[in-house]
Amino acid sequence: MKKIIIFGASGGTGLEVTSQALEAGHHVTAILRHPEVFPVRHEQLRIIKGDVLEPQTYENAFFGVDAVISCLGTRSREFTTVYSEGVANIISEMKKVEVTRIICLSAGAVEIDPNASFIMKFIMKNILQRLFKYSYADMLLMEKMLLDSKLDWTVIRPPRLMNGDKKQNYRTSLNDFIPNMSTLNRSDLADYILHHLDDEKTYKCRVDISY
Domains by residue range for the chain, with CATH? 3-210 (3.40.50.720)
Q: What is the pLDDT of residues 40-49, one digit of tens each?
A: 999 999 999 9
- Amino acid 192: pLDDT: 98
Q: Are strands 27-32 and 45-49 parallel, antiparallel or unpaired?
A: parallel
Which residues, at least 6 apart from 31, have a Cβ–Cβ distance to it below 8 Å? 5, 6, 7, 9, 48, 50, 51, 52, 57, 58, 61
Inter-CA distances, 151 with 14, 25, 55, 146, 192, Å: 22, 25, 19, 7, 20
Q: What is the pLDDT of residues 133-187, one digit of tens each?
A: 999 999 999 999 999 999 999 999 999 999 999 999 999 999 999 998 999 999 9
- Amino acid 184: pLDDT: 98
Give the pLDDT band (50/70/90) at residue 76: confident
- Amino acid 75: pLDDT: 83
Q: What is the pLDDT of residues 18-47, one digit of tens each?
A: 999 999 999 999 999 999 999 999 999 999
Across the chain, mean pLDDT equals 96
